């Protein structure tokens, strides 16, 4: 490929939408079936928690940020999805038994912020640090497991049906709307 | 003082190329070669590797960076930034002083009857540049540097590096420094790049070739019936305008 020397290669491969679509799908998937399986066959659960950011194609001008509580169950989140916005950042919780890892995933580059590995055990500081570093590694492995599950559908002929379910999820009243109605 | 990991914000990179064993003398020597050196009085920026336990310690020995499943060190960046407003104010004072001196000299020359060479207080472009340079150097000497320290977590078995900062300048600097130190290339594991790896068994690029953006919206059908025609038309127009 010929390109100007000082211009970097597009590391998103011209597919800026892939990350936001993944997080949008993850939001839907966790609200209907939160169980995932990692590379070793162990099950873990994913929960969208505390923070959700949705954007339209125009970026910041059409941004919806939802903080605290359960933004995934809010009416605002669903309204944003119905109107064509996609999830660009979400705080998620990976739970495996008693062990919980929280992190904010930024969709565009899969950057993680505020990643809190499970509280490490051990008497020595070195032991605890080693356990935390292993926890970080496991968090990335779990993220890859979720991304792998998304790609398995995204690159198959099942995608249209799945996208339709995401649309139906957006169109259906949120838990908040349902509770208000009753 | 030791490094503890309570919370991490990081970008993930894939190491492309052969990284020396993290327990080897070569690995420690490479870090030492590019270790952090404090700013000299005239420098504006400096960076280099330090140990993760102490940002003042830049001594590396074979295996000293290994912690559990990975090796950990840090990138320290010190910057000294001149306040441009302060520099302008100092230049202004300098020019005023020179103008006064020139006026005093001219008065003296007037009394002695010698003709004036140029209007008092006018400073040539070269003089201006010289003054600016001298004042910049003085300010640099008297300005305390700011310090940033970002952890670097290398998982050699996975060929992955996590860099503990998300800003673009810090990441660009880190990539250049890491590549320079270890003669390897780093590729950011963006959703696209990671998808290529995860879909390797299905042809990577080929599997992604047919993927197009999906529209998850359902706005028109959900609300068309509920809104009065005039309002619905206005909503559609404003959405089109936004696109």
| A7 found inside a domain | no
Rounded Cα distance between B17 and B183, Å, is 8
Nearest to B7 among A13, A114, A137 (CB): A114
Question: What is the average pLDDT score of chain A?
Answer: 86
| A179 found inside a domain | no
Host domain of residue A26: 18-169
Please judge whether B215 and A13 are an interchain contact, meaning their C-beta atoms are less than 8 angstroms apart.
no
Over residues B162-194, the pLDDT tens digits come to 999 999 999 999 999 999 999 999 999 999 999
Mean pLDDT, residues A14-36:
92
Please judge whether A147 and B7 are an interchain contact, meaning their C-beta atoms are less than 8 angstroms apart.
no
| Nearest chain B Cα distance for residue A80, angstroms | 9
Give the count of domains, chain A: 1
Alpha-carbon Rg for chain A in angstroms: 18
Rounded Cα distance between B3 and A129, Å, is 8
User: Helices A125-154 & A159-171, crossing angle to 10 degrees?
Assistant: 110
What dihedral angle (degrees, nearest 10) is formed by the CA atoms of A129, A135, A136, A142? 170
Enter the ipTM: 0.87
| Nearest chain B Cα distance for residue A27, angstroms | 13
Rounded Cα distance between B242 and A83, Å, is 12
The residue count of chain A comes to 182
Helix residue spans in chain B (DSSP H): 25-33, 84-112, 125-142, 168-182, 191-198, 205-209, 219-223, 229-242
DSSP code at position B200: G
Q: Which residue has 């398995």 as its token pair?
A: A152
Over residues B22-34, the pLDDT tens digits come to 999 999 999 999 9
């Amino acid at each position: 490929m010929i390109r100007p020397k000082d211009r970097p290669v597009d590391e998103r491969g011209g597919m800026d939408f892939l990350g936001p679509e993944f997080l949008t799908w993850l939001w839907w998937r966790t609200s209907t079936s939160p169980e995932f399986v990692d590379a070793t066959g162990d099950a873990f659960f994913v929960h969208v928690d505390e923070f959700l950011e949705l954007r339209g194609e125009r970026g910041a001008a059409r941004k919806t940020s939802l903080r605290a509580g359960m933004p995934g169950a809010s009416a605002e989140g669903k309204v944003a999805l119905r109107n064509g916005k996609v999830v660009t950042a979400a705080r998620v919780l990976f739970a495996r038994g008693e062990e919980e890892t929280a992190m904010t995933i930024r969709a565009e580059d899969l950057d993680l912020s505020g990643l809190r590995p499970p509280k490490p055990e051990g008497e020595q500081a070195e032991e605890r640090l080693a356990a935390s570093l292993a926890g970080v590694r496991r968090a990335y492995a779990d993220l890859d497991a979720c991304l792998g599950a998304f790609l398995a559908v995204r690159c198959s002929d099942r995608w249209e049906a799945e996208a339709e379910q995401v649309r139906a999820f957006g169109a259906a009243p949120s838990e908040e709307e349902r509770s208000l109605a009753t | 003082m030791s490094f503890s990991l309570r919370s991490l914000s990081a970008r993930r990179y894939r190491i492309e190329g052969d990284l020396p064993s993290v327990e080897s003398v070569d690995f420690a020597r490479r870090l030492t070669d590019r270790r952090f050196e404090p700013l000299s009085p005239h420098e504006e920026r400096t960076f280099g590797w330090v140990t993760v336990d102490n940002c003042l310690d830049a001594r590396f020995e074979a295996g000293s960076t290994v912690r559990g499943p990975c090796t950990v060190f840090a990138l320290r960046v010190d910057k000294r930034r001149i306040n441009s407003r302060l520099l302008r104010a100092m230049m202004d004072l300098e020019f005023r002083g020179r103008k006064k001196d020139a006026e005093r000299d001219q008065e003296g020359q007037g009394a002695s009857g010698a003709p004036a060479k140029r209007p008092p207080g006018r400073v040539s472009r070269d003089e201006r540049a010289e003054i600016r340079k001298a004042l910049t150097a003085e300010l640099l000497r008297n300005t305390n540097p700011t310090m940033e320290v970002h952890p670097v977590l290398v998982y050699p078995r996975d060929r992955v590096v996590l860099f503990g900062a998300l800003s673009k300048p810090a990441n660009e600097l880190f990539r250049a420094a890491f590549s320079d130190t270890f003669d390897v290339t780093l590729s950011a594991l963006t959703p696209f790049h990671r998808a290529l790896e995860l879909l390797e068994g299905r042809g990577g690029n080929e599997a992604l070739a047919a993927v197009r953006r999906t529209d998850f919206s359902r706005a028109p059908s959900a609300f068309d019936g509920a809104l009065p025609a005039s309002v619905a038309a206005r909503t559609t127009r404003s959405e089109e305008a936004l696109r």
